[in-house]
Amino acid sequence: MNDAPASEAREPDDPHWRFALAVYSRPGVAPACLALQDRFGVDVNVLLVALYAATQRGLAVGQEEIAALDRAVAPWRAVAVAPLRSIRRALKSFSDTPRPEDVQTLRGQLQKLEIESERLAQSILAAALREFGAKSGDRGAADVLTATLAYYAPTAVPDQETLRASSIICNAAENYVDISSSANAPGSCS
């Protein structure tokens, strides 16, 4: 995802997108996700859809499923999400131009496009979930985070910052309640 407030995204239509926006907007989650993205190359959309699958649909999402999700979205990420993010971030260094307000306006427009590209990435990921038919299981958010880090950073040893970021994300995902569905109850993340 990016560092935009989730409220800037258009109204969520899909349950996985609604989950992603709600979890990402929880206190501390955006910086925690961005830390994993910047330090280990974690695709935050893959992580959020995997968390949705595990915590909301009861699917077993391990490293194999993370790899399949990553492969499914990699082409879209390469041509849409990553370039938009890269340009938007690069424009931060142009604040001392003669018209910094124009640069800010452009960054805002790019941010909206980036969010839309992430929504489309999540649609690709949700379709991939259906295609590879993840099986029901009892893996929770902590297991998804472990599998995600194992896939994106197989040789990394989680330090305190990584563990703290993972805990923040895990708790937000486990405690998400979709108000449009009364079947979901908060879980437990240890």
72, containing H or E segment: helix 63-76
Q: What is the pLDDT of residue 8?
A: 47
78 found inside a domain: yes
Distance (Å, whole) CA 71 – CA 64: 11
**pLDDT tens per residue, range 63-116:** 999 999 999 999 999 999 999 999 999 998 887 888 889 999 999 999 999 999
Grouping H, G, I as helix, E, B as strand and the rest as coil, residue 94 is helix
13 found inside a domain: yes
Task: List C-alpha distances in Å: 179 to 18, 130, 173.
Answer: 10, 23, 14
Q: What is the pLDDT of residue 178?
A: 73
What is the span of the domain harbouring residue 128?
A: 6-174
Q: Residue 6 has what DSSP assignment?
A: G
Mean pLDDT of 37-56: 96
Per-residue confidence band for 183, with pLDDT thresholds at 50, 70 and 90: very low
Q: What is the pLDDT of residue 12?
A: 58
70 found inside a domain: yes
Distance (Å, whole) CA 112 – CA 133: 32
**pLDDT tens per residue, range 120-145:** 999 999 999 887 766 777 778 999 99
Domain tally, the chain: 1
19 found inside a domain: yes
107 found inside a domain: yes
Measured over the CA atoms of residue 93, residue 95, residue 99 and residue 104, the dihedral's sign is positive
Q: What is the pLDDT of residue 180?
A: 57
Measured over the CA atoms of residue 178, residue 183, residue 185 and residue 187, the dihedral's sign is negative
179 found inside a domain: no
162 found inside a domain: yes
Model confidence at 11: pLDDT above 70: no
168 found inside a domain: yes
Task: List C-alpha distances in Å: 13 to 32, 95, 108, 119.
Answer: 25, 35, 23, 10
Per-residue confidence band for 186, with pLDDT thresholds at 50, 70 and 90: very low
